[in-house]
Amino acid sequence: MVERKTVQSKPESVRRHLLDLLDGLGDSVDMALPSERQLAAELGVARMTLRKAIDALVEEGRVVRIVGKGTFALPEKTALEPKLTGYSEEMRRRGMEPDSELLAFDQVPAPMALAREMGLGAGAPLVRYKRLMLADGAPMTVDENFIPLRLVPGILQGPAPTSLYRILSEDYGLHMDWGEDTITASAATATLSRQLRVELGAPLLRVQRRAYVRESLVDYSVSYYRADRYSISVPLRRPGQRRYSPRVTQSPLGPR
């Protein structure tokens, strides 16, 4: 039996070479690739062939073209898959070192709409827990959580928790059963641009989360994710089909 060999097209072969080049950059992001003229000469291909390969990498979010400057490697994008897991756990699973900076841990009054959702009176005390979430030292997201103070008595008398859901579960018996995420596009304000180290008006992903214990809303949060560091991954299935666990994947190049 004759074994068939897969023959790659020239643009695909060039694309593979460029992928190896990008992988060699490691964590170095925003680094310019060699010029098209130089790459075409090194690979022995026409510049049109090279451009097709680069076009494919632009579509994949691996590189970006900046007119008059060149082609640059993009940072790794982490798949934003809605699930009730902790940020530290998720980052470590992806091989990244999590960290955070505390921005606020205090008591605030509940706005009327949120108080109504939580079954509270307007102005009822909430615990606000706001952090800048980091991965490998780089800012990824700003998270702000709101929890009814009556459910977590004494929490503000101690240090801010390193893992909110663990403290809620272990110290207060609040195990999140289910939740809802609403994801919308947003733009960086002056404060967010400074915290996330992005340009003013840079695109962000705004995620509103409502996490429930049985039917009671216990945790309401708003998170702003850097759009250049996250992509959205949503599993789909046909009605009537059995549920399955999708494989978790990350973009080839490189927060709950």
Predicted confidence at residue 70, as pLDDT, reads 77
Q: Is 2 a member of any domain?
A: no
Which structure tokens are listed for 148? 């009814």
**Same structural domain for residues 103 and 199?**
yes
Domain range for 69 is 10-73
Average pLDDT over residues 200-225: 92
Write the pLDDT tens digit of every residue in 230-252. Answer: 777 776 766 655 544 444 333 33
Q: How confident is the model at residue 30 (pLDDT cuts 50, 70, 90)?
A: low
Residues in CB range of 98: below 8 A, 6 or more apart? 87, 88, 91, 92, 133, 134, 135, 255
Q: Is 250 a member of any domain?
A: no
**Same structural domain for residues 54 and 89?**
no
Q: Is 256 a member of any domain?
A: no
Number of domains present in the structure of the chain = 2
Residue with tokens 């995620």: 207
Residue with tokens 């429930």: 212
Predicted confidence at residue 237, as pLDDT, reads 65
pTM (predicted TM-score): 0.63
Given a contact cutoff of 8 angstroms between Cβ atoms, the answer to whether 79 and 93 are in contact is no
Q: Is 51 a member of any domain?
A: yes
Q: How confident is the model at residue 124 (pLDDT cuts 50, 70, 90)?
A: very high
Predicted confidence at residue 54, as pLDDT, reads 83
Predicted confidence at residue 106, as pLDDT, reads 95
Look up the CATH number of the domain holding residue 152: 3.40.1410.10
Q: Is 224 a member of any domain?
A: yes
Predicted confidence at residue 181, as pLDDT, reads 87
Q: How far apart are CA 193 and CA 201, in angstroms?
A: 8
**Same structural domain for residues 174 and 225?**
yes
**Same structural domain for residues 48 and 167?**
no
Average pLDDT over residues 85-114: 83
The larger pLDDT score, comparing residue 193 to residue 46, is at: 193
Write the pLDDT tens digit of every residue in 38-94. Answer: 888 888 888 888 888 888 777 766 777 777 777 777 666 554 455 555 676 676 776
